Amino acid sequence: MRRLVTALVVAAVAGTVATLAACDRTVAGGSTDGATVFRAACASCHGERGKPPQQMAAQLGVRDLTGAEFRARRDRATIEGQVRKGSGNGRMPGFEGALTAAQIEAVTAYVLTLGD
């Protein structure tokens, strides 16, 4: 059951990302405000302010972006790479093509402020 739920969530989000990519980069209306992009593209898994809902953490292994452990090792290049390529295990989709370069830069800068 847990695997099924995980697969369904990933498939749903991957579908959304693909759809968004197909409709010519319209995530958050093309906004380059980091918080706005985060709400539109990331909050469904990571929560509005980077702290994932318990269910997402438990079922999908979503990381807490406000936690001390992540904040101690976060840097621009790692976050940007994660956003572009997603997680190697397929639980987080890559956003390359779905978000513009400016949106990726903005959301990366926003993630660097989470938990402050």
Shortest separation between residue 13's beta carbon and ligand HEC, angstroms: 4
Contact 28, 41 (CB under 8 A): yes
Q: How far is the CB of 22 from ligand HEC (least distance, A)?
A: 17
What is the nearest approach in angstroms of ligand HEC to the Cβ of residue 39?
Answer: 10
Task: State phi, psi for 63 to the nearest 5 degrees.
Answer: -85, 150
State how far the Cα of 36 lies from the Cα of 110, in Å rounded to an integer.
10
3-state SS, residue 112: coil
**Smaller CB separation from ligand HEC, 22 or 78:** 78
**Pick 15 or 22: Cβ nearer ligand HEC:** 15
Q: Do residues 36 and 107 make contact, with C-beta atoms less than 8 angstroms apart? A: no
**Positions in the binding site for ligand HEC (CB under 6 A):** 9-10, 13, 41-42, 44-46, 60-63, 65, 70, 79, 82-83, 87, 89, 91-93, 95, 107, 111
DSSP for residue 114: T
